[in-house]
Structure 1
Amino acid sequence: MTTANLDLARAYFQAVQTGDMAALGSLLDEEIVWHQPGANQFSGDHKGRDAVFQMLGGMMEASQGSFAIDKIHSLMGNGDLVAATIHFTGRRGDTSMAMDGVDLLRIQNGKITEMWLFSSAQNAEDAFWGR
């Protein structure tokens, strides 16, 4: 199952990088639980596909469409979990953010059912997004 889960994770990151919301929606379980780290306006547990899309839309609006995962360094699978080491960026006016992170995806029955995100500089990410 790990190979199929790695393929699904690759499809997820491709959809995110290309802005293919239809593909992204097809990969997320309707009842997904998304754990967004930190202490900023987007932090917390987002439950359900609609809540995740609302959060992602807010991030794109706040960053004037610049928020992006620009590199996927590696994907590693273990059972129903896939860990991805990534690099992400964003701009808000004169402020920018660029840092490494880890996304941990739980994949069950061909859908992403849970996500945990980790940032290498959480305080800087919190300052970027604001309260």
Structure 2
Amino acid sequence: MTNTDIAKSYIKAVQTGDQATLGSLLSPQVIWHQPGNNQFSGTKNGLAEFGAMMGGMMKVAGDSFAITHAHRFLANGNLVAIEIEFAAQREGAMLDQPGIDLLRVQDGKIVEVWLFSSNPAQEDAFWGK
């Protein structure tokens, strides 16, 4: 599988809630860089910290958080940038914006992820402190 194929499988797993596939694609020592200044922001080290963050995000968003579209997959060596759109809603609050997921792939596993939001203030307000 190419790095782009791994990135496409990652997006599909996130979009379909396929935790088994997602877990198989992420390195157990994955380093996850969550943007912004909210309760979920910061660097998460390993699957346990990543899983706790995702579980918290799904709880806050009532399981509505989703990558709604993935437009392009752009590879450069072991990096793959994905143009995405993501959305969530809770108690009348909406989150809906484009972003970039940047994956670093090594030996067939996603070892590091950087996320970029086009509207960090909207995202911070949605997730809260």
Q: TM-score, normalised by structure 1?
A: 0.97
Aligned-residue RMSD, C-alpha: 0.7
Partner of 1:54: 52
Counterpart amino acid of residue 117 in structure 1: L
| Runs of 5+ consecutive residues of structure 1 not aligned to the other structure | none
CA distance in 2, matches of 1:50, 1:112: 15
| Runs of 5+ consecutive residues of structure 2 not aligned to the other structure | none
Partner of 2:98: 100
Q: TM-score, normalised by structure 2?
A: 0.98
Query: How many angstroms does 1:66 deviate by?
Result: 0.3
Q: 2:28 aligns with which of 24, 27, 30?
A: 30
Partner of 1:127: 125
Report 1:1-131 matches (<5 A): 4-131=2-129
Q: Deviations over 1:35-59 (max 9, x none)?
A: 0000000000000011111111111
Percentage identity across aligned positions? Answer: 51
Query: How many angstroms does 1:92 deviate by?
Result: 1.1
